[in-house]
Structure 1
Amino acid sequence: MLKKFILTIAVLFVVLHFPVYAESSSSLEQLDSISDRALEMTKLKRYGDSEKMLTYFSDRFLKETAKEQILDMDELRIITVAHNEALMTIKDMNKGDSEKVNSVTKLRLVVDAVKSTHQPLWTEMEDQMMSSFQQTKNAAINQDTITFNSQLNLFLSQYEMIYPSLKVDLSKETMQQLDTRIQYINQYRPEVINGNESQKELDEIQTELTSIFEEMGEDDTDPSLWWVIISTGSIIIMTLSYVGWRKYKGDREKPRKQHVD
């Protein structure tokens, strides 16, 4: 009886501690699913359906954020900007297929970045981004202007796609430092190609990108979740230990009672 009582308390402890967390997680899962569906429609060039999904996303987004505080102000603003851009791009008849896919992908990635606590989707772009940047760097060293501009443009389009997600997952200091360096090589392309000092910026960017991707691949589970897991585990261990001690004590007292009788 006592064992059941203590275990019940442990379960209630978890349930009462996580109602907001569970509800927030559910809300973000819904938004994530809608953005994923919108991206699928865009890749299939079903732009009418994609527009409907993005409009539905907006409706759900407004309802969920009005109902509960699942996002901070920065996340709210970043997702809103990404969504508005995606919807405008889908509606624009002058935008190409790749532009539309990239724009909706940007929204998809940032919603996932807000939802995920470990290895967000944008980290899967590591190989192609690092490859594009390495070729940009090689072209600068060889003073190959055509290849340099081509590969840098490709890298910048990839960077633009994950930019909102980076703002969600990186500190403001790290984001500002990285963005300043990238904007420098974009703005001063001739100097980067012709100057050894400017090319050092490429080394710094490569080092920063490598560090960022490696760091985001590490386990960064929510500390509050670990606290509850540890606390709940402790309660269960204490319960089992107490029950075991009572059983041990009862077994030792049985011979005494029999002897007295």
Structure 2
Amino acid sequence: MKKIWVILIICILLLTLGLGNTVHGKEQVPQSLDSLVPLSNKIYEFINDQEYNAAKESLKQFEKKLNTLTNNEQASLDPTVIRTVTTSEEQLKIMLGVDEKNNQELHQAALELRLVIDALGSDGEPLWKSLKKPLFSAFNKVKQDAANKNDQSYQYDLNQFVDLYQTIYPALVVDISPMKLGQIDQAVTKLVEARTTTTQDVKKNKKQLQEVSKDLNRLFDSKLTTIVLTGPMLWAIVLGSVVVITLFYVIWRKYRGKQLGRAYP
């Protein structure tokens, strides 16, 4: 009898630990970095309006808050997430520090930071998915150029597509599984590496473009569902599990009783 109850308790503990693990990962990140979302939006708006001094001040606040969060919660934050956010922030900081500013590059860098922070704090549809139309529009131009064997236009439009892809890439790093992201990244890399011979080798190019197109569609059509288990929910599931396990035990005891009754009439 005692052995049975020990087994039951162990099962409950294992179940509790398993549920606890589902709360970790991306679900923890929004809680710690959520305060950075308004700042990243503000930085983006300032740069969009070419108010660079205001953008610098907001970026200083962003950097200070980011350092505080990463120092306080180093153990609970994924190193890849920290590195990705820090890289985007540093890149924007460098661009704002130069005298001759490139408005387009600054806009892309600010958008990149905004997208990655939104991806961390988003419970619903991430902001990077709103760029599906412009990304596919840029990619369709690349396909059209390849079909027409127009090398000059192809090189230009491929650059436009890659620039946009690189803008959303940090958000994908924190929002997409490494396996899924690795597939599309490999396909895009192959396309870029073969750019000098693309318009010459039509058959090979068509296959590469199809791979990228397929991976892009999978990327944007995938449903990103995040289940966050709160304390009350967790305990409700654990208690429910106790009831179910107890029920199984009662049924088993009843069955054993009947078996013993038949064996010893």
Q: Name 2:60's counterpart in structure 1.
A: 55
Match of 2:216 among 206, 209, 212: 209
Report how far residue 64 of structure 1 moved. Answer: 1.9
Question: Which secondary structure does the structure 1 equivalent of 2:99 belong to?
Answer: coil
Report how far residue 104 of structure 1 moved. Answer: 1.2
Q: Which amino acid aligns with 1:205?
A: V
The 2-side partners of 1:198 and 1:111 are apart by: 35
Alignment of 1:30-179 (within 5 A): 30-69=35-74, 71-179=77-185
The 1-side partners of 2:192 and 2:99 are apart by: 28
**Post-superposition CA distance 1:46-82 (Å, at most 9, x none):** 1111011111101011112222355311101110111
Give the TM-score, by structure 2 length: 0.73
CA contact (8 A) 1:117 1:222 kept: no
The 1-side partners of 2:232 and 2:172 are apart by: 27
The 1-side partners of 2:38 and 2:198 are apart by: 42
Which 4+ stretches in 1 moved above 3 angstroms? 21-27, 229-232
Change (3 A) 1:144 1:229: farther
Q: Which amino acid aligns with 2:165?
A: Y
The 1-side partners of 2:36 and 2:72 are apart by: 14
The 1-side partners of 2:73 and 2:103 are apart by: 36
Report how far residue 135 of structure 1 moved. Answer: 1.3
Structure 2: gaps spanning 5 or more residues: 1-19, 241-265
Report how far residue 225 of structure 1 moved. Answer: 5.2
Change (3 A) 1:166 1:226: farther
Q: Name 1:248's counterpart in structure 2.
A: none
Q: Name 1:10's counterpart in structure 2.
A: none
CA contact (8 A) 2:27 2:228 kept: no
Alignment RMSD, CA only?
2.7
The 2-side partners of 1:135 and 1:146 are apart by: 12
Structure 1: gaps spanning 5 or more residues: 1-16, 236-261
Give the TM-score, by structure 1 length: 0.74
CA contact (8 A) 2:27 2:226 kept: no
The 2-side partners of 1:211 and 1:198 are apart by: 20
The 2-side partners of 1:230 and 1:212 are apart by: 35
Match of 1:187 among 189, 193, 208: 193
